Structure 1
Amino acid sequence: MTKYTINKAFEKYFPYPIWKIEIDCTKKCLAIEYRNPENTLPTFAVFDFSGRDLLRSYEEQEKEWTLEAVQGDYLILKQFGSNTPIKEGIKIIHVPSKSIIYTGMEYILHDVFQGYIKATHRSIPSGLNFYINIHTGEIQNRINTPLNYPLIHVHYPPPYTGKLPQFIENLPVVDTIWLQPLKNNFIWAYHTKANESYNLNLCISSRTEIFDTKIILNNLTRLIPQPYFQVEEYIFFLSNTKQKIVAYLV
């Protein structure tokens, strides 16, 4: 890879809009939840930062299941409901085999740690916690080792409000421009007008010059309020239809 360039890592299309994204930085993988607008049933997919499919599609037949977390080979779902009493539940899926490690409707999920889910029992008074082992599905009422949160380094670029350098100031930027430091360089994101539509542009620069510029999304009907999210050296974009995710390595 040429130094200081923007290189596409992968591009993924989904038949329905993406609802949720969860990331595991330790194993460098993403989990996606997308839903059929007609029946709102969820489907889940998992792939790594190079775009390799780990779980192409896992369909649920109850719309109340939603994505909670991904930890390596394990997908964690949470069930919710609007009826009284609230129907809640927890499900752990082993990604490579698509087998269910644990399903429980009597526990309410409160937090996800590295290797464990913290939950309470529906029929036991508050104050007593239980811990579900993500790898085995076993339930314990105490943990002897410290619990740590998973490693998740997700960053969103803030809008830039300072004085623009000349090499950026002269660009035909429409509306907001975003700036994010990346090691010794800088990542800029901005829209430009293209006839009656918009393009979303990504630019990598030093303090004095532009190294590389790419049009990431084109023919947009409207401006995107949050252009991307960054995980380590990868930058991820969602299309305005939320049916495509594109990753770039910078």
Structure 2
Amino acid sequence: MTKAFSYLYEGTIWKIDIHELSGMLAIEWRDQDGLPYFSVIHYPSGRLLSDHIHYGDRWWTLAAVNANQLFLQHYPQPNQGQTQGLVAIDIHSKQVTWEQFNLQFVELTQEGIAVKQRFSDTNAVSLLEPLSGSILENHTLLNKLSPLPRNIRSASPVHRTPPLPITSTLVGPYFFLETDGKELWAYHERKEDKLQLILTVIQEHNVQFKECIVDRLDHLLPEVFFMVGQQLFFVTNNKREIVSYFV
């Protein structure tokens, strides 16, 4: 395995979205005051395309990302009656390309952005053109639209054990994922008074890779990594860092 990239943020990672067709990874992280910032990485190359994108108050959050734009959605503030909205930001210039209010983001599809109009009580959605935000269609059903590819897999805790001994200080379950004949085993080990997360890759009953991914943990991590294509992603360092490896 080879390391693809690692990026450390000044706050806690709250949300991640991936656009597989363009290889874009969008990250929302928040500072101590809860204000959101956004970062976009071209994950196959590891290039950081945009960082410290900021828009609005703490009620704005990541909706989706595509090849050129970052989409943020707004939630109404409690007891203030502010409406929902959607904004598009150019990834490279960080400039707002359009804003739309009185609607709710539903899903980014191959045909466009599916949204629900304010006060709509039907299952119908409207379709927005991503580059301009203009309405392509006022009334359609979500199941008639084509979803974007979603081939994200996560390691799951299992009761089975690896085919050969890989640890003598196991704490908690093994997490397992298999890809192209390679067995990916993630697990926690005790190290003095702390825990560490180890990743071991086994192929044909031989250990191909073994490395500590996260050190000095106080508690077991409920989720250890996810995989897109042949690339692994870990959120580490108290949810302040994202690290990726090619399998």
Structure 2 vs 1, CA of residues 224 and 240 (structure 1 numbering), >3 Å: closer, same or farther?
farther
- Give 1:12-31 correspondences, 5 Å limit: 12-31=7-26
Moved over 6 A (4+): none
**DSSP 3-state at the match of 1:218:** strand
**DSSP 3-state at the match of 2:244:** strand
- Give 1:76-225 correspondences, 5 Å limit: 76-81=71-76, 82-83=78-79, 85=81, 87-122=83-118, 126=122, 129-142=125-138, 147-162=145-160, 164-168=161-165, 171-225=168-222
Structure 2 vs 1, CA of residues 116 and 236 (structure 1 numbering), >3 Å: closer, same or farther?
same
* Alignment pair present for 1:69 and 2:67: no
**Counterpart in 2 of 1:57?**
52
Measured in 1, the distance between the counterparts of 2:114 and 2:40 equals 23
Q: What percentage of residue pairs aligned between the two structures are identical?
A: 26
Measured in 2, the distance between the counterparts of 1:127 and 1:176 equals 42
The answer as to whether partners of 1:92 and 1:100 remain within 8 angstroms in 2 is yes
Number of equivalent positions: 242
Task: Write the deviation string for residues 226-247 of structure 1: whole angstroms up to 9, x where unpaired.
Answer: 1111111111111151111111
Measured in 2, the distance between the counterparts of 1:182 and 1:19 equals 28
Structure 2 vs 1, CA of residues 206 and 226 (structure 1 numbering), >3 Å: closer, same or farther?
same
**Counterpart in 2 of 1:3?**
none
**Counterpart in 2 of 1:229?**
226
Structure 2: stretches of 5+ with no match in the other structure: none
The letter of the residue matching 1:99 is Q
Task: Write the deviation string for residues 122-172 of structure 1: whole angstroms up to 9, x where unpaired.
Answer: 26664553211112222122589x63212222111111212x245136543
- TM-score calculated relative to the size of structure 1: 0.89
Measured in 2, the distance between the counterparts of 1:128 and 1:159 equals 38
- TM-score calculated relative to the size of structure 2: 0.90
The letter of the residue matching 2:234 is F
**DSSP 3-state at the match of 1:75:** strand
Structure 1: stretches of 5+ with no match in the other structure: 1-5
The answer as to whether partners of 1:115 and 1:135 remain within 8 angstroms in 2 is no
Between the two structures, name the one with larger relative contact order (CA 8 Å, sep ≥ 6). Answer: 1
Measured in 2, the distance between the counterparts of 1:14 and 1:115 equals 33
Structure 2 vs 1, CA of residues 58 and 130 (structure 1 numbering), >3 Å: closer, same or farther?
same
**DSSP 3-state at the match of 2:156:** coil
Higher percent of residues as strand: 2
